Amino acid sequence: MDNTIPQILSDLEIYAEENNIPIIRGPERELLLRAAALVGPEGPKKILEIGTAIGYSALMMAERFPKAEIDTLEIDENRHAMAEDGMRRAGVSDRVHCHLGDAADILRKLKGPYDFLYLDGPKGQYLRELQEIEPKLTSEAVIAADNVLFRGLVRSKESVPHRYRTLVMRLRDYISYVEEKYDTHIYEEGDGLSVSRPKGMT
């Protein structure tokens, strides 16, 4: 079996496609890696990802930042098992730690300090998750959050379908918070990726 990271990433991509598992899409991949690289010339030292799925983005970050340690959280047992398997195959299990469970519970137990946070789990929980983890972020930490424009509804002036109202309201709250507290840029590629840095670092 070919256990190089590019091969494993390609296997995960095919599996995700065939099984309808949402993983980071083409144009957003490089954006995410560039956001993580904003931390400094050596890249991030300790990454926290909420929403592992099958480990695609975590493995991609592990490949680009070979010195980084990564904590990644997933609630679905099968996806978590698959992510762990991929990390073992890639020989990175010593520095990519896949945690199984509800992020709301796991977050409290994590130590940090993290210099890159990637929010890609439950979309309605971004603000709560960020506020929980903020005391464990370094002063130069970069925060990325995926899907913040959620199907164009977050910035739309049109009425939001009832079933998405709470989610859209929470994403708007998240954006207001990070725009006020951090230097935040929202990339419109895909479903919207926000990248926030401490004020004055840009």
Instruction: Give residues in contact with ligand SAM (CB under 6 A).
Output: 22-24, 51, 53, 56-57, 73-76, 79, 102-103, 120-122
Cβ(98)–Cβ(52) below 8 Å: yes
Question: What phi and psi, each to the nearest 5 degrees, are found at residue 155?
Answer: -100, 0
Q: Which is nearer to ligand SAM, 190 or 198 (CB)?
A: 190
Closest approach, Cβ 4 to ligand SAM, in A, equals: 18
Please report, for the chain, how many H helices and E strands are present, in that order. Answer: 7, 7
- Choose among 36, 38, 44: nearest CA to 202: 38
Nearest-approach distance from CB 57 to ligand SAM, in angstroms: 3
Alpha carbon 86 to chain centroid, angstroms = 18
Residue 196 pairs in a beta bridge with 143, 184
CB of 89 to ligand SAM, least distance (A): 16
Shorter beta-carbon distance to ligand SAM: residue 46 or 99: 99
75 or 130: whose CB is closer to ligand SAM?
A: 75
167 versus 201: smaller Cβ distance to ligand SAM:
167
